Amino acid sequence: MPPLFQTQLDAITSGSTTISQAAEAILSQLRDDEKLWMLDGDDGAKDFAIKMATIGYCHTTQDAGVVERLGIPGIKFSDGPRGILLGGKGTAFPVSSSRAATFNPRLEEEVGLAIGKELRALGGNYFGGVCVNLAPNPKWGRLQESYGEDPLLVGSFGAALSKGVSKNAMACVKHFALNSMENMRFSADVECAEDVLHECYLPHFRQTLEEGGCESIMSAYNSCNGEWCGDNKNLLNVVVRDTWGYEDVIITSDWLWGTRDASKSIAAGLDVEMPIQSVRAFHLAKALRDGKADWEHVDRIVKRLLRAQLKLHMRIEGTEKPAEAVAGCEEHRELAKRVAAEGMTLLKNTASYNGDQFLPLDSKKTKRILVVGELAVSDQTGDRGSSNLVDPTVVTPLDGLKKQDGVEVVYLDGSNLAQVERACKDKDVDAVFVLVGYTGIEEGEYVSTFDPALLSTVFPFVFPHYLVAKAFTYVLDKALAVYGAFKGGLPGGDRQSLRLKRSDEALINVVAEHAGSKMILGIESAGPVVLPKTVRQQAAAILHTGYAGCQFGNALREVLFGQAEPAGRLAYGFVESELDIVDIDMNATKVKYDRFWGYRLGQQRQVRPAYPFGFGLGYGNVQLDNASKLPSLKGRFFEVQVTVKNQGKHKSSDVIQVYGGKTSPSSGDYQRVLLGFTRTKYLEQGESESVTVQCRLDPLARWISSEKSFKVEEGSYDISISKYEGDDKSHTQTVKIEQVGWSVKTQITQAQ
């Protein structure tokens, strides 16, 4: 006879029961110990430690709540944002910040579909890689895992990734909330006013749930307004379940340190402690016996978990499971290459005396390229934290460029500046490509050191005393130091500076001085870099490559030689100076977030960046024309129509961005914020297209706490059709907006 879970699935399919009734039926057959088993990861601490030491993080699924007696499949977790880690077989896509630079959510949905297929093929059903944290300070180490500095951009991409993944698995959005620091993520408390929280730091989470069909949330390590996020009733129950109305969304903890109090966490609405038996396994049963925890909360959680698993299996039942060979397949690598090229952002492209731009290079005239920099031979796909995907198919920049027919490629690592200078003066060198930037040592997830206080709290059965935990911490840190030295340094942490390393600055200064007119400066980073002004002035071209994934080299070759266009637009603006960013101490245990950061802060201070949010050049010249006149706006959503034409010589695509703000803003108002965006098709020379941009007033709305709703103040607003934030060639109209309001439980029906 089939197990109970399967018989209930069959009953749902036949129409004889509902998902809720099926969950109740299964719950009624669960023993108390099985209910508690479903509330955390299935591995014990010892088994998990052995797994991590022998095969590594997420080499196999991390399971939670598998009950074989009743056939309950449980959660089968895999990270991460740039691709599936399982078995080392997944495709390494460009990191999330690079994908955001495409400004193309439809392309991101394709990435999500590919990731979901690979996850399901490799035995997983739960994807923990939808990261939508907004970083006020761009020095955040995990900047590469999220989608930029604007909530609408971030939410649109989180929704798109979730929508793609959900065709084959459950998608989980993280880290809820205000988790945008690495060094102090286990101990920082972030203070944020209720209105700022709902207007600035939560909308992209809600958009991911509403538009993307995301079915799970991962809580954050840090505390929010004095309460640890994993035990935070206001965030988990009041906001997600009561205010937003998402009773069925599964909420899991961040790994290992994400649950601080067993009883508080179940009362707060945290469903599963990941990834192992830890705080709840040690404390919860006794708390229930002593009346300090409530079985009603346990049953509510278990029913929610059962409903989610039944929904998933109903959604995929009858669809063919992808073959394991789909992981890392040629189709997905081609997709990775397309995303990499579309996400590369051209910041400068000097025109020569005859009007031709330096890029793309003419393969008939370019006979020798000098490639400089250690990163040109690196196979990194991003940092070395939980999203680290070791893809054996990685094509390095140097290997990719060497595939260009008819071109000699000369390589120098850049360590000998005199040698670089001599090579730059070689008259036979037609172009110099110098690649500088970061590795997981300079920016990335913080994977050391271990906090003994956390060890003794989270693993009390292993470390009952603080001194024992402290001794273990010392040994583990020494082991990590040896491992780090072997691998090239301890990875992770928030960036110390937005500037390049001194050695990189010295290198690019030499190249700029002796070969500036033929210099292509490549920057490999998650976000903004403060570049020396002389280099910006002297370089012929500047290209932000981001962390471009397994097809980096092939995409770079196609971009430099014009087979593909670097179509990216900056998801994070590049400031002129580190003084132009939010002054948040990344090593503080107490920080405060407000509504001004990124381009919003620049507007407030009246400081323009070196390269603004949304900026990027193409190989064509797409111009705006004939924008439709807007009527008075009376609803939350509206459309903007504009005609665009490619007046350049090369096939090209552009991103049309719509910004809005009060005609006469007060000191507490934004001058302009992103209300909508869309990418044009790739236009041939002289080709036109009529473009419709779907826009929303959400970024202009203010939170009304007493009503649990948003309202846009009535008045006169400037709506600008632009190519980047602050575009002085924008097509701007002044329109009247009637007072518009909506409940946060309103389901968005008009998606980006």
- Interhelix angle 295-316/4-14, rounded to 10 degrees, is 60
- C-alpha 435/C-alpha 191 separation (Å) is 39
Write down the pTM of the prediction. Answer: 0.95
How far, CA to CA in Å, does 306 sit from each of 72, 216, 271, 398, 565?
8, 13, 11, 50, 47
Contact, 409 vs 369, CB < 8 A? yes
pLDDT-derived band at 388, boundaries 50, 70, 90: confident
Supply the DSSP symbol for 197: I
In tens, the pLDDT along 634-680 reads: 999 999 999 999 999 999 999 999 999 999 999 899 999 999 999 99
User: In angstroms, rounded to a whole number, what is the distance separating the alpha carbons of residues 351 and 234?
Assistant: 56
| Closest C-alpha among 436, 369, 432, 434 to residue 405 | 369
d(CA 133, CA 173) in angstroms, rounded, equals 9
pLDDT digits (tens, 9 = 90+) for 477-535: 544 444 444 444 445 688 999 999 999 999 999 999 999 999 999 999 999 999 999 99
pLDDT at 116: 98
3-state SS class at 165: helix
pLDDT at 487: 44
Q: What angle do CA 471, 458, 69 make, to 5 degrees?
A: 130
Task: For residue 632, give both structure tokens.
Answer: 């008075």
Q: Where are the domains of the chain?
A: 31-303, 332-443+494-572, 452-487, 620-743
pLDDT at 448: 55
Rounded mean pLDDT of 114-136? 97
Element (H, E) at 348: strand 345-349
Which pLDDT score, from 0 to 100, does residue 748 have? Answer: 45
Measured CA to CA, the distance from residue 329 to residue 729 in angstroms comes to 44
- What is the tens place of the pLDDT at every residue in 231-279? 999 999 999 999 999 999 999 999 888 999 999 999 999 999 999 999 9
Whole-angstrom distance, CA of residue 396 vs CA of residue 402: 10
Distance CA 624, CA 622 (A): 7
605 phi, psi to nearest 5 deg? -90, -5
Which CATH number fits the domain 332-443+494-572, given the four candidates 3.40.50.620, 3.90.1330.10, 3.40.50.1700, 3.40.720.10? 3.40.50.1700
The beta-carbon contacts of 64-67 under 8 Å, at least 24 apart in sequence, are 64/38, 64/40, 64/252, 64/272, 64/274, 64/275, 65/37, 65/38, 65/39, 65/272, 65/305, 66/42, 67/30, 67/34, 67/37, 67/38
Token pair belonging to 475: 């040994």
Instruction: Determine the pLDDT at residue 750.
Output: 37
What pLDDT, on a 0 to 100 scale, did the predictor assign at position 46? 84
> Which of 296-305, 322-331, 460-469 is predicted with the least confidence, judged by mean pLDDT?
460-469
Host H or E run for residue 216: strand 216-219
Burial class (CB in 10 A: 0-12, 13-18, 19+), 496: exposed
Where residue 190 falls (left for φ over 0; alpha for ψ -120 to 50; beta otherwise) is: beta
Distance, CA of 9 to CA of 712 (rounded, Å): 45
Rounded CA separation 359/356 (Å): 8
Structure confidence by residue, pLDDT tens digits, 587-626: 899 999 999 999 999 999 999 999 999 999 999 999 998 8
The mean pLDDT of the chain is 92
408 has which bridge partners? 368
438-472 pLDDT tens trace: 998 888 887 654 555 555 444 544 454 445 455 54
Q: List, as one string, the DSSP characters of 490-546.
A: ---B--S-SBPPHHHHHHHHHHHHHHGGGEEEEEE-SS--B--HHHHHH-SEEEE--
- Give residue for tokens 């209720």: 194
Q: How far is CA 161 from CA 208, 327, 675, in A?
A: 9, 17, 20
CATH 1.10.1740.110 fits 620-743, yes or no: no
249 to 23, 241, 303, 540, 721: CA distances (angstroms):
15, 8, 11, 51, 37
| Inter-residue contact 231 to 293 (CB < 8 Å) | no
Task: State both tokens at 573.
Answer: 């603006």
- Secondary structure of 271-316 in the HEC alphabet? CEECCECCHHHHHHHHHHHCCCCCHHHHHHHHHHHHHHHHHHHHHH
List pLDDT tens digits, range 555-587: 999 999 999 999 999 999 999 999 999 989 888
Q: What is the mean pLDDT of residues 418-425?
A: 98
Q: Copy the structure tokens of residue 717.
A: 């607003």
Q: Residue 100 pLDDT > 80, yes or no?
A: yes
Q: What DSSP designation does 67 have?
A: B
What pLDDT shows up at residue 10? 96
**Strands (DSSP E) along 140-187, which ranges?**
170-176
Distance (Å, whole) CA 510 – CA 513: 5
Give percent of the chain with pLDDT exceeding 70.
92
* CB 252 within 8 Å of CB 275: no
What pLDDT score does 433 carry?
Answer: 99
Tokens of 741: 């309001």
Question: How many residues appear in the chain?
Answer: 752
Strand ordering across the sheet containing 250-252: 62-64, 75-78, 126-131, 170-176, 216-219, 250-252
Pairing of strands 673-679, 740-743: unpaired
The reported pLDDT for the residue numbered 55 is 85
Per DSSP, the residues of 623-669 read EEE-PPPP--B-SSEEEEEEEEEE-SSS-B--EEEEEEEESS--TTS
Q: Note whether 412 and 372 are within 8 A (CB).
A: yes
- Cα angle value 175/180/186 (rounded, 5°): 75
pLDDT category at 747 given cuts 50, 70, 90 is: low
- Whole-number pLDDT of residue 458: 47
Q: Is the dihedral of CA 28, 32, 33, 38 positive or negative?
A: positive
- CA 495/CA 444 separation, integer angstroms: 8
Nearest-angstrom CA–CA distance, 167 and 75:
16
pLDDT grade for 745, boundaries at 50, 70 and 90: confident
The 3-state secondary structure of 378-428, one letter per residue? CCCCCCCCCCCCCCCCCCCHHHHHHCCCCCEEEEECCCCHHHHHHHHCCCC
Beta-strand relationship, 709-712 and 702-704: antiparallel
Q: CA–CA separation, 280 vs 36, rounded Å? A: 8
Q: CA-CA-CA-CA torsion for 635, 637, 643, 646, nearest 10 degrees?
A: 150
pLDDT at 670: 96
Residue scoring higher pLDDT (718 or 317): 718
Q: Does domain 31-303 match CATH 3.20.20.300? A: yes
Q: What is the pLDDT of residue 325?
A: 97
Per the CB < 8 A criterion, the answer to whether 304 and 250 are in contact is yes
Structure tokens at 256: 């290992």
What are the phi and psi torsion angles at 42 (to 5°)? -80, -25
CA–CA dist 606, 620 (Å, integer): 31
Residues 6+ apart with CB under 8 A from 536: 348, 542, 610
